[in-house]
Amino acid sequence: MGLVDTHCHLQTDRFDEDRDEILARSREALDWLVVIGDTLASSEAGVALCGDGIYAAVGVHPYHPEEVIEAGLTKLRELAARPGVVAIGEIGLDYYKYNDAPPEAQQAAFRAQLELAVELDLPVVIHNRESEDDLSSILDEYHQSLPGGILHCFAGSDAYLERGLGWGFHISFAGNVTFPKAQELRDRAVDVPFDRLLIETDSPYLAPQPVRGKRCEPAYVRHTAETLAEVKGVSYDELVAQTAANAARLFRIPVEKSQAES
């Protein structure tokens, strides 16, 4: 089994000029990838890219709780029924100072989408920024009804990591784990059981160290895989095979299919 990217935003306008090239390079470098939604429109655009090794998650980011009204949920339900949709996300909470969506509105949108994931029996892709306490108490309520989840682009505390593992969730690391100053984050990765570890790019953001500052793309996930292989003390091939198997199991992507497509 080859590399997979469990989290990228290939539908954003930063790829408008050369998306076909990026898609071709991604297909060459990876077995498969998941395009993640953050608004209703980007969720729909992600679903439109599905097929031939491309899967999608649909959901509304905590920056846009105003989209998660009845009509928005109906739209997400419709999109989630399309072929290739494997998760609800990215959803969660974001209390960073530049986000002016009120916490109460974010929490309501988060809960509504968690309920949708329970209803549709889909795993969730979780975004957290400076909101560990509220996010954790909400997930304490829902995790048992969900078929799994991902703490995406993990950069949280030890306590949050422990809680996430307690929920049975997977922990996904992005390019920031390769940064020289990220030793603390690499130390956390040591504590993630190998069968719960995932890798992602979050492209176009967070290009790994060797390509830092560039627009990130899915093929760069190999740099994150190299770093995590060192951190876990396994070979690169082992790291790639294990993280791909973890992702396939969580997203229920048949391995035979992903191999045939590679």
Cβ–Cβ < 8 Å for 189, 228: yes
67 forms part of the interface with Ni ion (CB under 5 A): no
> Burial of 197 by CB count in 10 Å (0-12 exposed, 13-18 middle, 19+ buried)?
buried
The nearer residue to Ni ion, 146 or 153, going by C-beta atoms, is 153
Query: Least CB distance from residue 237 to Ni ion, whole Å?
Result: 27
The nearer residue to Ni ion, 35 or 229, going by C-beta atoms, is 35
Cβ–Cβ < 8 Å for 188, 158: yes
CA torsion through residues 204, 118, 160, 95, sign: positive
Query: Least CB distance from residue 68 to Ni ion, whole Å?
Result: 17
Cβ–Cβ < 8 Å for 169, 217: no
What phi and psi, each to the nearest 5 degrees, are found at residue 6? Answer: -85, 0
Query: Least CB distance from residue 109 to Ni ion, whole Å?
Result: 16
Residue number closest to Ni ion, CB atom:
202
The nearer residue to Ni ion, 12 or 259, going by C-beta atoms, is 12
Residue type, 19: R
The nearer residue to Ni ion, 84 or 89, going by C-beta atoms, is 89
Query: Least CB distance from residue 38 to Ni ion, whole Å?
Result: 7
The nearer residue to Ni ion, 232 or 243, going by C-beta atoms, is 243
- Could you give the 3-state DSSP secondary structure of residue 147? coil
Task: Give strand pairing partners of 54.
Answer: 33, 51
Binding to Ni ion (CB under 5 A) within 168-207 occurs at: 202
| Mask for 70-89, x = binds Ni ion (CB under 5 A) | --------------------
36: enclosing H helix or E strand: strand 32-36
* Site residue total, Ni ion (CB under 5 A): 1
Query: Least CB distance from residue 175 to Ni ion, whole Å?
Result: 12
Q: How far, rounded to the nearest angstrom, does the alpha carbon of residue 190 sit from its chain's CA centroid? A: 20
Q: What is the DSSP string of 111-131?
A: HHHHHHHHHHT--EEEEEES-
The nearer residue to Ni ion, 31 or 202, going by C-beta atoms, is 202
Query: Least CB distance from residue 200 to Ni ion, whole Å?
Result: 8
Question: Which residues sit at the interface with Ni ion, rule CB under 5 A?
Answer: 202
